[in-house]
Amino acid sequence: MWCVYRMPDYKCDHCNYCTKIKTKYAQHLLTNKHLHNIKNQPAEDEGDGEGELTPKDIADSFNMLFDEVAFLKKAVAALQAENAAKDNALQECKQLFKDMKAVEPTPPPSPPPPPQPIIIQTNQQPVEKKESCNPTYYCNTLNEDETLKSVKGVDTYFRIDGDVQFDFNDLNEEIDIHNINKAWVVSKLRDFVSKNKDNIPFRYYKGSLYYKNEQGFWEREEPPSNKGEKLSTGTYTHSLIVKMFIFIIRNRTIAHLDKLLGERWRLRTTDDLFVVMSKDTFNRDVWRNSELASHLHHLLK
């Protein structure tokens, strides 16, 4: 058997106003029309008072209305901030894919000539082999090095779901975020490279950067030409080592802080920690190529 609940009517005999919504009735009691009618009409006996609101009911109704409005404002602000963070991450991913596509792999090097017979002459001193500055020669040397056969291509190595991890034992509380700056990033990268050099698909030789492509061959990066270019103009060309390392340490740092503090830490307005960190430290456009190369090239020889 069904029981039908009938909402009470809230009436104002002074203004001939009737509604079933309690908050609307409370709003009516504060209108100029109602206040004017009360002054100009004599008070009448309104029965047993059913449907009337006491001052406490009116105050409770307004408090409930204000609380609901405040909650909706906070929810909208949190949703907007979360969408902005997702948009930023999406733009960075798109830019990274564009940068990856811009690096065209060179064709595989031609096979080396067959070995020549060795003739030992006892009356001559052996001639010491000199190092060559030819990029092709050094690429062949890297390709023939058996210890580098297992090194992954640069795109695969720096994937978000890859194995690159950093030691964040100095980030244990929210206040530790203030320590994150460019010097902190350089220190983390130096420590990582010194421990994982054998697996990193980068090598420096004679001032040039060499990397392993996705086809499994080493090739030389054409040195970016940035003469007269400024970071603030957005036309500065970054080296591949800057793009990859800044991208991966930003991803790993934010993932660590999300796990430690919860994802909502990014939305806190106190000191704008997430905004400052992203703008001043993990924004690729604040880094010059030399700022990383000067600290890492001797570790990747």
Per-residue pLDDT tens over the stretch 151-188? 999 999 999 998 899 999 998 888 888 889 999 999 99
For residue 122, name the pLDDT band (cuts at 50, 70, 90).
low
How confident is the model at residue 270, as a pLDDT? 62
In terms of Cα–Cα distance, which of 35, 86, 29, 84 is closest to 62? 29
8 A C-beta contact, residue 221 and residue 211: yes
What confidence tens digit (pLDDT) does each residue in 67-90 have?
Answer: 778 888 888 888 888 888 888 888
Map out the domains of the chain as residue ranges. 133-300
Instruction: Specify the DSSP class assigned to residue 208.
Output: E
CA 52 to chain centre: 55
For the segment 200-212, the average pLDDT, to the nearest whole number, is 90
Give residues with Cβ within 8 angstroms of 177, minimum separation 6. Answer: 171, 257, 273, 277
pLDDT of 58 over the 80 cut: no
How many Å apart are CA 2 and CA 180, to the nearest integer? 64
In which band, very low, low, confident or very high, does the pLDDT at 245 lie, cut at 50, 70 and 90?
A: very high
Note the pLDDT of residue 27: 84
**More confidently predicted of 249 and 35:** 249
d(CA 296, CA 123): 45
